[in-house]
Amino acid sequence: MFGHLTSAFNQILPEIILLAAACVNLAVGPFLIGDSGQAASGIRHRWGVWSLLALLLAGWCSLMPTPVIEATQLAPFQVNTLVWFVRLITLTTGTVLVLTNWNQTSDSDAAESQACLLFILAGANLIALANDLVVLFLALELVSIPTYLFLYVARRDRSGQEATLKYFLLSVFSSALVLYGFSFLYGVAGTTNLTALHRVFQNYEFSAIPAMLLVSIVTIVSGLAFRITAVPFHFYAPDVFQGTATSAAALLSFIPKVAGFIALIRILGQPSVEAATHLGYWSLAAKSGDVLFLLAIATMFVGNLLALLQKNLRRLLAYSSIAHAGYMLVGLSVAVSVPQINDDASAGSVGGLPALLFYLGIYGITTLGVFALIASLSCPERPLETSDDLAGLSKTHPAGAFLAAVLLFGLTGLPPTAGFLGKLTLFLSAWNHGTDLGRRLAICLAINAAIAAWYYLRLIGAMYLQPSRNDTRRTTGVPAFVGVSLCAVASIALFFAPDWLWQALQRVGG
């Protein structure tokens, strides 16, 4: 037993570092605030550096070889390639989020704000590590609860409070749905351990899946659809994105998607050849394919069509986030659906799960880069709120306009950015699936990519083709602008050298 506890500690050492660093923020931060309620000027820079050091140390520990004792059915954590990938994207994008949040909060709130961010990143990693429904739910809440505080600390005016309250109420409802679905899974399987749970299902060969499992699939997918902003659980996103601070909107655009999609992968698993036959066993993955197919179609079209009508940048990016959730649902739908058997084209085809994860990482660096640009070029005197505020940016801030164009090309899916490869892999995974469902998803994906190109290229046109309303050069927030630069460089670098990541994702198992 002691050996298993030691192994579990080693497996979550990077997350322990993040949690410990966050606790230091909460323990020390209040003592650095004076009697007037104000902290010393510039102390937010120290908390920013402290958070970056915590992320760097966690990343170093995640690269160290971990002695792992053979897992038992009672093991609460499971380390595999999926965990490695989630840590890679959370620690990388977490660095960009820290830089974006650097100057978004006051000196007196910086410790709490950065602590919440570290808690959220640790929670996202623990979702990938979880091998038990109880641990998985606690990890989901470790993402949700600090997010409420992060939204409130980032902006405390009336619109900020309204955005926080909307997200809080709907998030609590989604958590209740997920927990309700978990209770049905436990009722059928008699265990909360995910490995044991799927093993129980594989031992029962029935032609009809129990109604309780169908209810659990619907409630779990519905609850997690809120986190990934899938239709019809998307309606909070535009209002919350517009009402909260830019750094908080950046966080909501990506980290909840990581939490939601990884949780779905861990719970649903992947179907096998046995599930393709009418005599197969109970399969959560195979039975959820139709639901995810409908969610993917609706989410893509609703997100892109409503984004065409937006002028506020954060509302536009909110609907863009919804549309990208639809793209990723294409990969998940293909991953959980049984491919056509004996299809000659299936050999060497692109898998839905690697395509989903590849796109998830690419989407993270591009969308966070756009939010970081808004944060770096905005100031109270000259906010960057609407598409009209981008007019003439190529003259008032040429470097910012160039980086924005690179990132918007990435979101559009045009070369030479990694976004092109991300959309291409999703399309190929759906088209080569060998089913009518996959072909329809691929066609809808191509149509929606064309629709999205209109509003992304419209922003680039405003920066380079429209005259500026104010010829004064825009000032730059240095930390956030560093984050923009890192995202743009990563987007181009992954276009020319994607093999190392793609080959690693080929070994990921759900």
pLDDT digits (tens, 9 = 90+) for 337-394: 766 544 444 445 678 888 999 999 999 999 999 999 998 888 767 778 888 888 888 8
Distance CA 191, CA 186 (A): 5
> What pLDDT is recorded for position 484?
92
CB 239 within 8 A of CB 349: no
Residue 434 pLDDT grade (very low, low, confident, very high; cuts 50, 70, 90):
confident
Answer yes or no: do 365 and 334 share one domain: yes
Same domain membership, residue 261 and residue 375: no
Tell me the CA end-to-end span of the chain in Å, nearest whole number.
Answer: 27
Same domain for 296 and 216, yes or no, is: no
Per-residue pLDDT band for 270 (boundaries 50, 70, 90) equals: low
Where is the domain boundary, 243, 268, 293? 268
Tens-digit pLDDT profile for residues 31-45: 877 666 677 777 888
Tell me, what's the pLDDT at 188?
A: 82
As a whole number of angstroms, the distance between CA 102 and CA 46 comes to 10
pLDDT for 342 equals 45
Q: CA 51, 55, 56 angle in degrees (round to 5)?
A: 115
Tell whether 410 and 475 lie within a shared domain.
yes
What confidence score (pLDDT) does residue 160 get?
79
Residue 275 lies in a domain: no
Check residue 20 and give its pLDDT.
Answer: 93
145 — pLDDT class (breaks 50, 70, 90): very high
Q: Which tokens in the block code for residue 486?
A: 């890192």
Q: Give the mean pLDDT of the chain.
A: 84
Query: Which pLDDT value is given to residue 106?
Result: 80
Does some domain include residue 273? no
Task: Identify whether 495 is part of a domain.
Answer: yes
Classify residue 274: in a domain, yes or no: no
Q: Is the pLDDT of residue 332 over 70?
A: yes
Query: What's the rounded Cα separation, in Å, for the pair 319 and 451?
Result: 13
Residue 61's domain spans which residues? 1-268
Cβ count near 298 (within 10 Å): 17
Least confident of 97-101, 199-203, 311-315: 199-203
Identify the band that residue 67 occupies on the pLDDT scale cut at 50, 70 and 90.
low
Give the pLDDT band (50/70/90) at residue 254: very high
The secondary structure element, H or E, covering residue 103 is none
250 and 359, same domain (yes or no): no
Residue 500 pLDDT? 87
Quick check: is 276 in a domain? no
Whole-number pLDDT of residue 138 = 93
Q: Are residues 27 and 106 in the same domain?
A: yes
For the segment 228-257, the average pLDDT, to the nearest whole number, is 90
State pLDDT tens for residues 95-113.
999 999 888 888 788 888 8
Which pLDDT belongs to residue 275?
44
Q: What is the mean pLDDT of residues 137-148?
A: 92
Same-domain check for residues 263 and 295: no
Q: What is the mean pLDDT of residues 443-462?
A: 92
Q: Which residues of 109-148 are buried (b: 16+ CB within 10 A; e: fewer)?
A: bbbbbbbbbbbbbbbbbbbbbbbbbebbbebbebbbbbbb
Q: What is the mean pLDDT of residues 410-434?
A: 90
Structurally, how many domains does the chain consist of? Answer: 2
Same domain, 480 and 510: yes
My answer on whether 102 and 152 are in the same domain is yes
How does residue 260 score in pLDDT terms, banded at 50, 70 and 90?
Answer: very high
In a domain, 484, yes or no: yes
pLDDT (average), residues 104-133: 89
Q: Residue 178 has what pLDDT?
A: 92
pLDDT for residue 490:
93
pLDDT at 187: 86
For residue 25, is pLDDT > 70?
yes
Of 268, 301, 333, the one marking the end of a domain is: 268
User: Which of 271-285, 327-341, 415-429 bottoms out in mean pLDDT, i.e. has the lowest?
Assistant: 271-285
Is the same domain home to 293 and 226? no
Confirm whether 289 is domain-assigned. yes
| Domain annotation covers residue 279 | no
Q: Across residues 277-301, what is the average pLDDT?
A: 76
Q: Which of the listed residues 268, 299, 334 is the one where a domain comes to its end?
A: 268
Biggest distance spanned by C-alpha atoms of the chain: 74
String of DSSP letters for 40-71 = PTTHHHHHHHHHHHHHHHHHHHHHS----PPP
Residue 407 pLDDT > 50, yes or no? yes
Helices (H), 81-157: 81-101, 110-129, 133-154
Inform me whether the pLDDT recorded for 334 exceeds 70: yes
Whether residues 344 and 392 share a domain: the answer is yes
Q: Any idea which of 11-25, 309-323, 375-389 has the lowest mean pLDDT? A: 375-389
* Pair (23, 162) in one structural domain: yes
How high is the pLDDT of residue 66? 60
132 DSSP 8-state letter: B
Q: Bridge-partner residues for 312, per DSSP? A: 386
Please tell me the distance from the alpha carbon of residue 233 to that of residue 229, in angstroms, as a whole number.
6
Question: What residues contact residue 154 under an 8 Å CB cut-off, 6+ apart?
Answer: 101, 104, 105, 113, 160, 244, 245, 247, 248
Query: Does 204 or 102 have the greater pLDDT score?
Result: 102
Q: Flag whether pLDDT at 200 surpasses 80.
A: no
Tens of pLDDT, residue by residue over 151-177, are: 888 777 787 788 888 888 888 999 999
Task: In whole angstroms, give the CA distance from residue 295 to residue 354.
Answer: 20
